[in-house]
Amino acid sequence: MHSEKVLNRLKTIEGHLRGVIRMVEEDAYCIDVIRQLQAIEAAISKTSALILEDHLNSCVITAVRGDSEQERERVLKEIAEVFEMSTKV
């Protein structure tokens, strides 16, 4: 995994979230808060996509190329579950 890149993104998101908390504490304009939350959601989605891409290019490829049918089925089921959960949110 590109841990450093992911960690940097998560720390940026954390800072952004602290800023939104401050905005709410200071009773900022609602639409401004919503826009900032949307930016955080987009950043989280991008970070999630990076982690998923890395997983597909490492763990999933290894499992698909491997000899264990059970492992192949397990990783493919995990991917299907991730997509299923993303549509429920």
- Answering whether pTM is above 0.95, one says no
Closest CA to 43 of 11, 76, 86, 67: 11
Domains of the chain: 3-88 (1.20.58.1000)
pLDDT tens digits for 3-29?
899 999 999 999 999 999 999 999 999
